[in-house]
Structure 1
Amino acid sequence: MNAETPAQKILVLGASGLIGRFVTDDLRARGFDVIGVARKFSPSHRVGAFDLELPILAMKPAALARLIEDHGVDVVVNCLGVLQDGPGSDTGAVHHDFVARLLQAIRDSGRAIRLVHISIPGAPEEDRTAFSVTKREAERLIAASTIPHAVLRPGFVVAPAAYGGSAMLRALAAFPLDLPPCESGTIFRPVAVEDISATIAWLAGRDIDDASASSVTWDLMQPQKVTLSGVIEQFRFAFGSADYPQLTMPEFMLDLGAKLGDLANRLGWMPPMRATAIAELRRGVTGDPAAWMAATGIVPETISQMVGQRSATIQDKWFARLFLIKALVIASLAVFWIASGFIALFISYRAAAAILSSHGFPPSLVAPVTIGTSLMDMTIGILIAFRRSCAAGLIAGIAVSLGYMAGTAILTPDLWIEPLGALVKTGPAIVLIMVALLTLDSR
């Protein structure tokens, strides 16, 4: 097949993720007919006729086979993956069980299909987390099948977009913080997402019986060794923060951050700093890209080329600076609303009721209003704490705050000039809620 005139039809699973989205768009730009599939696309992805929203992880082999047959697929690219078990995330279900069903579907489709599977680098004997163990189980399932396949093991992926771990490293580069020496010195070989897509394009351009593209497992990463601190330093040069004085983070802060991240994970959030992320970070990113480079002729970009080929824009800088602050903003708002309602209801109930009584509220309404507003405040805080309901909680927080301000102006206007200025401070609080709402998107 002539690689200059792509004719293969490609199905990309997980087309809303960091790698999947780039690969889908890039392969289309190269002339391939690409169908992107994800459970859900964000509005900014501009879902069109060739992007499908499907409950892909819940689909049985027969449904997957029909998807492949109906669209005449020649190459399946599996970019699906989750970092850690949590609400709605099951590493075993995504990495092992789904791959088993996908392999069965490819066999049942009756078509000659090449499977390109995105995995992780590293030696199998070093696998310690559910993430890495189940990723490796999927590799073994694929290797045992008779399906032409390529298992790609990318290093730390550097892309124009940032999500998860790539966003966290950008955030560290924007702040005067260094990781502890043990983590800073870890080997951490990166790869440009463009090199991943170029590899998939090369594979899609091979005939199905081409031995050089069948049953291969390649490490995709720059051949030069680089440490984690070296990767972060490149981002610092791009952000213009390389000359900032650096404060070394104590070891316990990483472990504390992982515990807080795991707690947030139970509330439906997917923070990059979780136990699995820290364990994989400490493991490092190693591999040997020689076989990949020899087969494809691709010369991977180095980290200095990936990051240094363009100056960081103001969008890059704002994102990096706000990424870690976003979690602090949401957490502080949740605590604020819950604490304010709890204090008024259980600790300072009499004082809260006395404020209403002293401003002419009918005695029969003092208790219901005090109890009702306290419960409402705590409910807003709980809504903000959970990822699924956070947007509703933030919007409710703005509405209730405006209601408090308007109601007070009508019923007890003198509270606006009380010494501590509690109501005056409500305005900046609303602005902070708006910041949280506007930065809520994670992709």
Structure 2
Amino acid sequence: MPPRCQNILLLGGSGLIGRYVAEDLRLRGFTVTAIARRYVASQRTSADDIEMPIMTMTADQLTHLMLDRKIQMVINCLGVLQDGPGMDTMAVHRDFTAKLLAAINAAAQPIQFVHISIPSAADSDHTAFSKTKRDAERLIAEAGIGSTILRPGFVIAPAAYGGSAVVRALAALPVADLPSDLASRQFQPVAVDDIAGTIAWLCEHGDHTHHVWDLMQPEPVTLGAVVDCYRTFYGTDRSTRIRLPGFLLDLGAKLGDATARLGWTPPVRSTAIAELRRGVTGDPAPWIAATGIVPQTLAQMVNRRSATIQDKWFARLFLLKPVIFVSLVLFWIASGFIALFISYDAAAGILSAHHFPTALVGPITVGTSLMDMATGALIALRRTSSIGLIWGILASLGYMFGAAVLTPDLWIEPLGALVKTGPAIILMLAALMTLDNR
């Protein structure tokens, strides 16, 4: 007998949960149209992985999409952590959900709706992220359609993104430990397999009533225990660590908020820290009773296999990545600023000493200084970062080649400025290779 919901529309197909669920359902034989604003090349595993500006579509357009593809279930995995450039929690969580519900009602055919939300009690919602997520839940409850709100706990998946990546990075570090207030927070994790299994169960057995299920292991643990479990996984559990003071985490969150304004999506931001501090808890008993799914325990989720070198490299380098980018931005901007405003005479003097035409000394000094600062600015902006890195590499090679031809004696000057350009190029290559988030 074919499943009750064979044709599925999944929104947010490039995210941590959405990507895994789409691929899992396809392996089970379902037809999944996965929509995302943008996919990286490695995520396009099917012709039904479609890039589409879904947020700008009207309810009528969404209805036509559902009818054209004979959709029987809609899974909404869309979400943003914090307001910022191109990210609006109200628009994504509440307004788009309202539009989606209107589209389902207008389809005039039975369509199940599965919505990914967040756990914890509504009276502890203090961030725009959690408040708008709860607004969406109220809209769904009032819509009168067959719907299931899934509230996953702390999601553990093969991929690492956001908070799960930070946990792994902390576990791999041999020196740092969580602040005590965070380490003691209750956390109930869930395997992404169990989320996908629940949605597959709904495809087979879902009805047209309304359910709200917390998806997580029944036994609460602490965030510190989650990190400790990953330490065992990475083999770093015997290291002595210094507990970080809470103000360092708050400082990191403020820096994360600042970089988000440049288009980056750092995992450590004020909303992320606020959500971690309230913990991740819930009651999975109704979910377990309804579906018969036995949730995996934390140890089962993490230790199903031994850590590979890929796991270790990612965890060790994750927190180093922002340090690399900040260093490169400061390097380029500072070098240009110093040459232009602080040591202009010395910079121009190098050219004059090597018999450059007097008319060209000023323009070349100013031009190269401005170019260096522009390179740093390009690297700082997420949208242009790859351009800035490539240009920085080319500019560095140009400086080295030009010096070899015009001023070869600079290669043996005591401070070795040109010799040090080689490692800077390698650092920019490393930044370019780690630029992707997914």
What is the TM-score with the length of structure 2 in the denominator? 0.98
Give the fraction of aligned pairs with identical amino acids, expressed as a percent.
Answer: 61
User: Partners in 2 of 1:424 and 1:351 — Cα distance?
Assistant: 19
1:407 aligns to 2:402 (yes or no):
yes
1:186 aligns to 2:185 (yes or no):
yes
Contact residue 20 and residue 79 of structure 1 kept, 8 A: yes
Deviation of the 1:251 alpha carbon: 1.1
Deviation of the 1:380 alpha carbon: 0.3
User: Partners in 1 of 2:349 and 2:166 — Cα distance?
Assistant: 47
- Equivalent of residue 75 in structure 1, options 67, 70, 73: 73
1:253 aligns to 2:248 (yes or no):
yes
Contact residue 400 and residue 418 of structure 2 kept, 8 A: yes
Deviation of the 1:273 alpha carbon: 0.2
Contact residue 5 and residue 73 of structure 2 kept, 8 A: no
User: Partners in 1 of 2:377 and 2:43 — Cα distance?
Assistant: 30
Give runs of aligned pairs for residues 38-437 of structure 1, distance below 5 A.
Answer: 38-175=36-173, 176-206=175-205, 208-209=207-208, 214-437=209-432
Contact residue 61 and residue 101 of structure 1 kept, 8 A: yes
Corresponding residue for residue 434 of structure 2: 439
Deviation of the 1:206 alpha carbon: 1.9
User: Partners in 1 of 2:47 and 2:259 — Cα distance?
Assistant: 36
Q: What amino acid sits opposite 1:169 in the alignment?
A: V
Deviation of the 1:205 alpha carbon: 0.7
Greater mean alpha carbon deviation, residues 359-368 or residues 16-25? 359-368
Deviations 1:179-231 (A, max 9, x none): 1111100001100000000000011112544xxxx200000000011000000
The number of residue pairs the alignment matches comes to 437
User: Partners in 1 of 2:239 and 2:4 — Cα distance?
Assistant: 48
Contact residue 264 and residue 271 of structure 1 kept, 8 A: yes
Greater mean alpha carbon deviation, residues 350-359 or residues 262-271? 350-359
Deviations 1:113-172 (A, max 9, x none): 000000000000000000000000000000000110000000000000011111111101
Deviation of the 1:47 alpha carbon: 4.5
User: Partners in 2 of 1:352 and 1:189 — Cα distance?
Assistant: 59
Label 1:7 to 1:127 Cα distance change in 2 as closer, same or farther (>3 A): closer
Deviation of the 1:111 alpha carbon: 1.8
1:35 aligns to 2:30 (yes or no):
no
Deviation of the 1:49 alpha carbon: 1.6
Deviations 1:219-245 (A, max 9, x none): 000001100000011111111111111
What is the TM-score with the length of structure 1 in the denominator? 0.97
Contact residue 37 and residue 51 of structure 1 kept, 8 A: yes
User: Partners in 1 of 2:246 and 2:105 — Cα distance?
Assistant: 49
| Matched residue SS, 2:150 | strand
- Equivalent of residue 14 in structure 1, options 12, 15, 18: 12
Show structure 1 runs of 4+ deviating over 4 A: none
Contact residue 4 and residue 205 of structure 2 kept, 8 A: no
Contact residue 113 and residue 208 of structure 1 kept, 8 A: no
| Matched residue SS, 1:352 | helix
Contact residue 173 and residue 232 of structure 1 kept, 8 A: yes
Structure 2 residue runs without a partner (length 5+): none
| Matched residue SS, 1:205 | helix
Deviation of the 1:272 alpha carbon: 0.4
Deviation of the 1:282 alpha carbon: 0.3
Contact residue 120 and residue 135 of structure 1 kept, 8 A: yes
Deviations 1:307-361 (A, max 9, x none): 0111111001100011110011011101110010011001111111111111111
Contact residue 220 and residue 292 of structure 1 kept, 8 A: yes
| Matched residue SS, 2:115 | strand
User: Partners in 2 of 1:205 and 1:331 — Cα distance?
Assistant: 50
Contact residue 253 and residue 268 of structure 2 kept, 8 A: yes
Contact residue 341 and residue 377 of structure 1 kept, 8 A: yes
Q: What amino acid sits opposite 1:81 in the alignment?
A: G
Contact residue 11 and residue 34 of structure 2 kept, 8 A: yes
| Matched residue SS, 1:388 | helix
User: Partners in 2 of 1:70 and 1:226 — Cα distance?
Assistant: 46
The alignment's C-alpha RMSD in Å is 1.0
Q: What amino acid sits opposite 1:196 in the alignment?
A: I
Contact residue 336 and residue 381 of structure 1 kept, 8 A: yes
User: Partners in 2 of 1:374 and 1:219 — Cα distance?
Assistant: 56
User: Partners in 1 of 2:183 and 2:86 — Cα distance?
Assistant: 32
User: Partners in 2 of 1:295 and 1:48 — Cα distance?
Assistant: 32
